[in-house]
Amino acid sequence: MALELYLDLFSQPCRSVYIFAKKNNISFDFKKLSLLDGQQYGEDFGKISLIRKVPALRDGDFCLAESIAIMLYLAEKFKTPDFWYPADLQQRARVNEYLSWQHTAIRMHGSKIFWLRVMGVEIPEDKMNAALDDLNSSLKLVEEKFLQDRPFIAGDQISLADLVAIVEIMQVSGPNVPAVTGIRISVPTMRGANTRS
């Protein structure tokens, strides 16, 4: 049985897994799952993952959730090039540091903005501004601490850290959200465009 990846490309972590697998020529069965249709709550998907989130992997009788765990599994199993998750102690630590930090930073703040803006949830202006402030603080740290003067987060080459970062940042860069130049968002522009009060 082929490797199966349960994905909805609306979801940031599904995109990182998809890109990683495709880029590394890892064959898989694309099992499309629609979050907006609530398919993650179906009985069948419950057998794959009780966490009921995407992405999820099934490799024979081994099931796995969480994009970072999935990519590390694929990286090891398919012996992907070193730069994705460098063996060098300090470079790997830099990647791990980003992968850990981002869950409650960029990922959280970007998702919130996405839901508020694209899903059209009406909220008070001050709460929207607070959400934008959080996102801007995260982006500031990406530039000033995680990148600094390096081409990529871990150094000279792309790694899982950059891949996970870009898919999250792209969530707030779609056509319904004011355009992002590089990774710099203009807060006044977003403030003016967003509020529905």
Residues that bind its own copies (CB under 8 A): 50-51, 62, 64-69, 72-73, 76-77, 89-90, 92-93, 96-97, 99-101, 103-104, 108, 130, 141, 144-145
| Alpha carbon distance 96, 104 (integer Å) | 14
Residue found under tokens 């080459």: 157
- CB of residue 134 vs its own copies: minimum separation in angstroms? 8
| Alpha carbon distance 103, 89 (integer Å) | 22
- CB of residue 163 vs its own copies: minimum separation in angstroms? 15
Q: Which is nearer to its own copies, 9 or 93 (CB)?
A: 93
Q: From the centroid of its chain, how far is CA 55?
A: 11
Q: Which is nearer to its own copies, 59 or 170 (CB)?
A: 59
Q: Which is nearer to its own copies, 51 or 179 (CB)?
A: 51
- CB of residue 24 vs its own copies: minimum separation in angstroms? 16
- CB of residue 59 vs its own copies: minimum separation in angstroms? 9
**Alpha helix (H) ranges present in 63-182?**
67-77, 89-101, 106-118, 125-141, 160-170
Q: Which is nearer to its own copies, 92 or 191 (CB)?
A: 92
Q: Are the C-beta atoms of 178 and 113 separated by less than 8 Å?
A: no
Q: Which is nearer to its own copies, 2 or 50 (CB)?
A: 50
Long-range CB pairs of 61-67 (<8 Å, 24+ gap) are 66/13, 67/13, 67/14, 67/16, 67/17, 67/164
Residue 42's alpha-carbon distances to 5, 35, 49, 52, in angstroms, are: 16, 11, 11, 9
Residue 134's nearest CA partner among 166, 111, 165, 100 is: 111
- CB of residue 144 vs its own copies: minimum separation in angstroms? 6
